[in-house]
Structure 1
Amino acid sequence: MNVWIVLLAAASSFLVGGLWYSPVLFGKAWNRENGGAVGEGHPAKVFGASFAFSLVSAVCFAVLVGPSPEFAAAVRTGALVGIGLVAASFGINYQFAQRSFRLWLIDGGYHAAQFMLFGVVFGLWG
């Protein structure tokens, strides 16, 4: 496993998440769907934990696709994981929690983009 590619993938999803949940894209809608602004936590803790989870996801994806995946196969695997596993699992939880379909689209869409981006990173440099 190439540690540098794993770190690049984790950093890329962390950066995309920052943009995804910013007011530029879906941040305002996400706050609205959550019933207002989310409680404030210490930024170092929030961002540190978020990056750690991105890193865990990137390591698991690296194990899943192997050391030298073909580009198309890596992106396809990213789509399957992001949409078929993560977003679908969120959908189950969101139904029981009675969260909105729009919130599911925002959160599930981010993870679909995250894992497809992992596929791009691993497919190009793996």
Structure 2
Amino acid sequence: MELLSVLAAGAAGWLLGAVWYMALSKPWMEAAGFPLDEDGKPQGNGSPMPIVISGVAILIVAGMMRHMFGMAGIDTAGKTLIAGLGIGLFIIVPWITMNYAYSMRPFKLTLIDGGYAVAACGVVGLVLGLF
């Protein structure tokens, strides 16, 4: 059951990312500095590797969150949701902010990527709590 909960939570977080970045694709590409072609689409080879890497990464996050929640006795959907939101807001967002500040990235990029981190960790936490 634990593996299933991690897979479901990872899938939920990954799907949220797909929706999040589709909805915010234009401001995200602008803030990230993606070169665009004459149709406004990103230039490049369209490699699937970012999608694969993001799927593996969210599974790792979900697995570690499951482990941490188990060790801490965080065992209800409400508690796992709040803990997930806290992980996103108080661990991941500060790290993203620090990295983007040093690399002089636009604050808009921090808001978009940080917002996804908080929302995805909340969703992952909620799904883990529902199992």
TM-score, normalised on structure 1? 0.89
Give the C-alpha shift of residue 68 in structure 1: 6.5
Q: Does 1:52 align with 2:50?
A: no
Indicate if the aligned counterparts of 1:79 and 1:116 stay in contact, CA closer than 8 A. Answer: yes
Give the C-alpha shift of residue 40 in structure 1: 3.7
Q: Does 1:42 align with 2:38?
A: no
Pair 1:10–1:74, CA change in 2 (3 A):
same
Q: Tell me which residue corresponds to 2:25.
A: 27
Indicate if the aligned counterparts of 1:31 and 1:38 stay in contact, CA closer than 8 A. Answer: no
Q: Tell me which residue corresponds to 1:3.
A: 3
Q: 1:71 aligns with which of 74, 77, 80?
A: 77
**In 1, Cα distance between the equivalents of 2:101 and 2:44?**
23
Q: Secondary structure at the match of 1:18?
A: helix
Cα deviation, 1:50-73, whole Å, max 9, x if unaligned, reads 111111011001001117711221
Ranges in structure 2 where 5+ consecutive residues have no aligned partner: 35-41
Q: Which moved more, 1:49-58 or 1:64-73?
A: 64-73
Structure ID, larger Rg:
2
Pair 1:119–1:38, CA change in 2 (3 A):
farther
Percent of matched pairs sharing the same residue: 30
Runs of at least 4 residues of structure 1 off by over 3 A? Answer: 37-41
Give the C-alpha shift of residue 48 in structure 1: 1.6
The alignment's C-alpha RMSD in Å is: 1.7
Ranges in structure 1 where 5+ consecutive residues have no aligned partner: none
